[in-house]
Structure 1
Amino acid sequence: MNAQSIYDAVPLGSLVRFSNGEPRPPARFSRKLKAWTNDNGVGRLVAREPAREGASFRYPATFTLHLGNYGSEGSIIMVVRRTYDVDSPLEFEVDEYPRPGDAHVLAAMSGRVELLHIAADRAAAEAWLATNRYSNARIEIVGLGLHSLPNGSEA
């Protein structure tokens, strides 16, 4: 699947695998392995932003994958996210769609919707929101057997 397909049809909260198609180098080649790891991995789709145009510039549509949180003793020190534009040469595939009944905590930020948290149900999402205050946050329950697509249709 190409990047445009991810932007157009994959719901927020999905686990998306990305790859440059190259085989993984042996561990003894640390530089090659690090470069390979940069273009191959998995992340959760947390945001998409439409294309923007100005008088002298054009930004293509993008989507953002959350790759991980790093820290210790319950404190998150660093959040790793990567944004891809719809012209990315990488290949993408969906590993997992959101589970029906999950509660997604979403927030509108700068004209885009961003996934902040996934909870097992509405009560857990409300508890998370009570301890993590965000303005313009809302809770959406993932439909039973249906995935909401960005264009308003369902799959």
Structure 2
Amino acid sequence: MSAQLIYDLVPLGAIIRFSDGTPRPPERHRKKLAAWEHRNSGGRLIRKQAERRVGNTVIGASITLHAGNYGGGGVVVLRVHRTFSVDSDDLRFVATERPRVGSVRVLSRPGEDAELVYLASSRADAETWLQSHGYPDAVLDEVTADVPAADVIEGRTAA
């Protein structure tokens, strides 16, 4: 599926995989393997940003994936996010997991450009998480079953 379909159909909180379709190089080719892993990976969909205008420049719509955290001892030192334009043709995307119905998304702020900062298993979990993290404008959004599945819309069934 394309990045545009991910933007249009997949809800925030879903796990997304992306690939350029090339075969994985052998482990012994470390540089080639690192380059391949950069173009064949995945993450959690945390943001969908609509097309916007800055002066005379138009910045296209995009999706952002949370690829991982780095740190130690319970302290996150670095968060890795990957942003892709919906116009990118060289990668294929697939939603491998959707947020569970009943889970609660903690969004950074209200509105269309909100970013998913935490996916809680319940409303109580979300409220507990919010008390220990500083997001004064946070919005809680419960996951419901009324969102259509992108794999069904594309004519495939989930495995």
- TM-score, reference length from structure 1: 0.90
Aligned equivalents of 1:98 and 1:111: distance in 2?
Answer: 19
- Residue correspondence of structure 1 range 1-155 to structure 2 within 5 A: 1-88=1-88, 89-108=90-109, 112-143=113-144, 145-147=145-147
| Alpha-carbon distance between aligned partners in 2 of 1:54 and 1:126, rounded to the nearest angstrom | 36
Give 1:11 shift: 0.3
State the Cα deviation string for residues 46-95 of structure 1 (Å, max 9, x = none). 00111113453221101100000111110001100000001112100000
Q: What is the rounded CA distance, in whole Å, between the counterparts of 1:123 and 1:84 in structure 2?
A: 33
Give the Å deviation of 1:110.
Answer: 9.1
Q: Deviations over 1:117-149 (max 9, x none)?
A: 011100010000000021210111111x33279
Unpaired segments ≥5 residues, structure 1: 150-155
CA distance in 1, matches of 2:133, 2:47: 19
- Give structure 1 regions of 4+ aligned residues with deviation exceeding 3 angstroms: none
CA contact (8 A) 2:47 2:114 kept: yes
Choose between structure 1 and 2: higher strand proportion.
Answer: 1
The alignment's C-alpha RMSD in Å is 1.7
Return the letter of the residue paired with 2:26.
Answer: P
Question: In the alignment, is the contact (CA less than 8 A) between 2:106 and 2:119 conserved in 1?
Answer: yes
Normalised by the length of structure 2, the TM-score is 0.87
How many residues of Structure 1 are paired with residues of Structure 2 in the alignment? 148
Q: Secondary structure at the match of 1:47?
A: strand
What percentage of residue pairs aligned between the two structures are identical? 43
What stretches of structure 2 of length at least 5 have no aligned partner?
150-159
